[in-house]
Chain A
Amino acid sequence: MIKAENIIKTYNGGAVEVLKGVSLDIKEGEKIVILGASGSGKSTLLSVLSGLERVDGGKVFYDDKDLSTMTEKELTEFRRNTVGFIFQQYYLLPHLNVENNVKMGADLIGNKDFREIIKAVGLENKLKNKPAELSGGEQQRVCIARALAKNPKILFLDEPTGALDEKTGREVLDYIIKSQGERGFTMVMVTHNLNIAETADTVIKMNSGVITEVYHNASPKTAFEIGW
């Protein structure tokens, strides 16, 4: 589904090389976890795989379409129709309530059933609350609803449980994995928590901008079976 060939990403006019030739192949419906220490280039990898940023070398393919030759408009179109994103810091819009935050995703595809999704994440009685009135776990659940409301084919998650305590972290992770099972989208999750890697089909280990190891889990665990 997504294929990266020897991608290179630099910043500050080439002075800092963050991705130093990364190649990977992500299959449809797969659960991928990218594991690596802070600063190893995980977030950068997500941003080039999702079409947020362009690579400086190498190629990224989505179903045989080359992202690096797409125009800005085509990239926007690609993100709109294909990609969903969940971040560690939530990035909800502070002046909009839960319902309207989720609408941000839903409106893109004319989804009128987004309240069902809010209900599914257990926030049906917080529809009118602002993000600042919610706990961290609740905010992250709004983010999940917001991302799922646009029905993405690939969901990118950048340390989705990084700011949560163990209990809420497990709940959120469980909900993410369950939705993936039900909807069958492809999932690429970044984390530095080794335990979380056990929930993945495929684990990609990164260090200093290169992939050091790739392995598969024969039987991925659930969010409540792993350590934390």
Chain B
Amino acid sequence: MIISLKDGLKLFGIIIVAFCAVFVCTFFLNFYMDAVEIKDTVTEAQQPLYDAQLATARFTSAISGGFLGLIAIVMVVFYIKLYVDGHMRQLGILKAMGWSNQKIAFRFWVFGLSIFIGTALGFGAGHIAMPFIYEGLTIDTLDIDIHFHAILLIMLVFVPTIIYSLFACGYAYFALRRPVNDMLKGRVEKKLKRRKEKPAKDSKERSFLVETCFKTLGSKKLLAFFVAFACFCFSAMVQMGASMKQLSTETMGLMILVIGIVLAVTTMFMAVTSLVKNNVKTVSMMKVFGYSMKECALSVFGGYVPFAFLGFVVGTGYQYGLLSLMVNIVYKDVAAVPDYNFNVPVFFITLACFIVLYTAVMAVYAFKLNKVSVKEVMLEN
């Protein structure tokens, strides 16, 4: 069978995003549910902090769950698109042999498996981390015991798995609706829009390199989103994690920092890998013609640089807004919480790390591009 279990299991991007989302949601929601049970024992003095902690738990779960859930959907779409495009011919043969779209699309449920693995691991890890989190969220003398809530297991692991599997089948069904003939010939392009290219108003003509930059970007817009998202995660969560040390506990800060870096690295890795894969032919032709490694890398990656910085800037704004909101609104009645101001040194350190890391990743992949053997591309046909 062409869509094997293995295909569904190796979507690391989805596994990690699902893991992070469920990891965070598990202990915060668990804390919320345990804390709600003792609401009668809370004294008046403890009330503001108690309310604030509950609000934080709800708020953080909603934000990380909702946001990462959305990213996971985009990733599922991305992976299925990649899979369908990469297996166009085989899928076309199945259709030619008389398989219906529904029957093929149904096989795509395996893509939901990654969600299951990610959420299950996240749920387990969330329970392991729970004692530390409870300690961090403790309210003076209040004793909040850890209980296991089966409903969370269902809502955070089984329900998402089923929803994402259904979604994968639905999207695959949609993606498979094209003529068998086109699929057999491996015609991947969508219907060519007969849109006339705008006549360039400015007399200055774009060079080939600039043109390929733009067209690479235009042909893979989803990747621009992932690049921006990766940089957003890095910027927002590293800065937030660093500020968290002062606002909350060190464990909390470290946790956010690590999640941010993991998310950023995975997403970036995924985006750039598929970018390289997509441009192997372009790059090998450029090499045949005598373009240098630098020029090849520029034409493939150049268009994404603005999105990387956009992601960084939005991330910076986002974390500032979020922390201000928490400190000034959610915790405004709690005396122990210090003031929060924009952390300028952390911003510059993060920016410096970002630039160094981004350049390093690009250099590694430029090197990878350079390894592309022209002969291998020629042998393909």
A-to-B contact residues, CB < 8 Å: 43-44, 47, 50, 52-53, 73, 76-81, 83, 85, 87-89, 91, 93-97, 100, 103-108, 128, 130, 132-133, 150, 158
Q: Which of A50, A91, A108, A150 contacts B285 (CB 8 A)?
A: A91
B216 partner residues in chain A, CB cutoff 8 A: 95
Residues in B whose Cβ lies below 8 Å from that of A91: 281, 285, 377
Contact of B285 with A103 in the complex, beta carbons under 8 Å: no
CB-CB contacts below 8 Å: B307-353 with A: none
**Set of chain B residues within 8 Å of A52, measured between Cβ atoms:** 287-288, 374-375
Contact present for B212 and A93 (CB under 8 Å): yes
* Nearest opposing residue in chain A for B189, CB measure: A132
| Chain B interface main SS type | helix
B residues less than 8 Å from A106 (CB atoms): 208
* Closest 5 A/B residue pairs (Cβ): A80-B290, A79-B290, A107-B208, A103-B208, A95-B215
By beta carbon, the residue of chain A nearest B211 is: A100
Using A47-B375, A52-B375, A95-B219 as known contacts, say yes or no to A132 and B192 having CB atoms under 8 A apart: yes
B146 interface residue (CB < 8 Å to A): no
Complex interface: chain A residues within 8 A of B292 (CB): 73, 76
| CB–CB A96/B289 < 8 A | no
Chain A CB count within 10 A is highest, among B197, B212, B289, B290, for: B290
Closest A residue to B288 by CB, please name it: A85
- Known A89-B378, A91-B377; further 17 A-B contacts with Cβ < 8 A: A76-B292, A80-B290, A85-B289, A88-B381, A89-B381, A93-B215, A93-B282, A95-B216, A95-B219, A96-B215, A97-B197, A100-B208, A104-B289, A106-B208, A108-B291, A132-B192, A158-B378
The smallest C-beta distance from B120 to any residue of chain A, in angstroms, reads 40
The minimal Cβ–Cβ distance linking B278 to chain A, given in whole angstroms, is 10
In the assembled complex, 19 residue pairs joining A and B whose CB atoms fall closer than 8 Å, in A order, are: A47-B374, A50-B288, A52-B288, A53-B374, A76-B290, A78-B290, A79-B288, A80-B291, A81-B290, A83-B290, A85-B289, A87-B378, A89-B381, A93-B215, A97-B197, A104-B289, A132-B189, A133-B192, A150-B289
Contact of B209 with A by CB under 8 A: yes
Query: What is the distance, in angstroms, from B13's C-beta to the closest C-beta of chain A?
Result: 24
List B residues at the A interface (Cβ < 8 Å).
187, 189, 192, 196-197, 207-209, 211-212, 215-216, 218-219, 281-282, 285-293, 373-375, 377-378, 381
Q: Are A93 and B288 in touch, CB under 8 angstroms?
A: no
Q: How far, in Å, is A86 (CB) from chain B's closest CB?
A: 10
Q: Quick one: closest B residue to A46, CB to CB?
A: B378
Contact B285 A93 (CB under 8 A): yes
Closest-by-CB residue of B relative to A51 is B290
**In the bound complex, CA of A88 to CA of B321 (Å):** 57
A80 and B292 alpha carbons, distance in the complex (Å): 9
CB distance from B300 to the nearest CB of A (A): 12
B375 touching A80 by the CB < 8 A rule? Answer: no
A53 partner residues in chain B, CB cutoff 8 A: 373-375
Q: In the bound complex, do residue B189 and residue A94 qualify as a contact, i.e. CB atoms below 8 Å apart? A: yes
Is the CB–CB distance between A79 and B197 below 8 Å? no
Determine the distance from Cα of A130 to Cα of B88 in the docked complex, in whole angstroms: 21
B211 in complex: contacting residue of A96, A105, A158, CB < 8 Å: A96
Find out whether the CB atom of B212 lies under 8 angstroms from the CB atom of A96.
yes
Q: How far is the CA of A53 from the CA of B292 in the complex (A)?
A: 15
CB distance from B275 to the nearest CB of A (A): 13
Contact present for A130 and B289 (CB under 8 Å): no
Taking CB atoms, residues of chain B closer than 8 Å to A107 are: 207-209
In angstroms, Cα B196 to Cα A160, docked, is 31
- Please tell me if the beta carbons of A43 and B378 are within 8 angstroms of each other in the complex: yes
When chains A and B are docked, how far (Å) is the Cα of A95 from the Cα of B214? 10
**B288 with A95: CB separation less than 8 A:** no
In Å, the complex CA distance between A6 and B332 comes to 83
B286 neighbours in A (Cβ, 8 Å):
104
Task: Please measure, in the bound complex, the distance between the C-alpha atom of A107 and the C-alpha atom of B374, giving whole angstroms.
Answer: 21
Q: Which residues of B contact A133 (CB under 8 A)?
A: 192
Distance in Å: Cβ of A32 to nearest Cβ of chain B: 19
Residues of A within 8 A of B373 (CB): 53
Judging by beta carbons under 8 Å apart, are A80 and B378 in contact? Answer: no
Residue of B nearest to A93 (CB): B282
Q: How far is the CA of A81 from the CA of B286 in the complex (A)?
A: 13
Q: In whole Å, how far is A128's beta carbon from the nearest beta carbon of chain B?
A: 5
Contact of A79 among B196, B289, B375, B381 (CB under 8 A): B289
Contact of A95 among B209, B218, B287, B293 (CB under 8 A): B218
Is B215 a contact of A77 with CB atoms below 8 Å? no
CA separation between A40 and B286, bound complex, in Å? 27
Residue in A73, A76, A95, A100 whose Cβ sees the most chain B Cβ within 10 Å = A95
> Please, how many angstroms separate the alpha-carbon atoms of A84 and B218 in the complex?
29
Residues of B within 8 A of A100 (CB): 208, 211-212, 215
B291 partner residues in chain A, CB cutoff 8 A: 76, 80, 108
Which residue of B197, B211, B287, B375 contacts A103 across the interface (Cβ within 8 Å)?
B211
Q: Closest residue to A97 on the B side, CB-wise?
A: B197
A104 touches B375 (CB 8 A): no
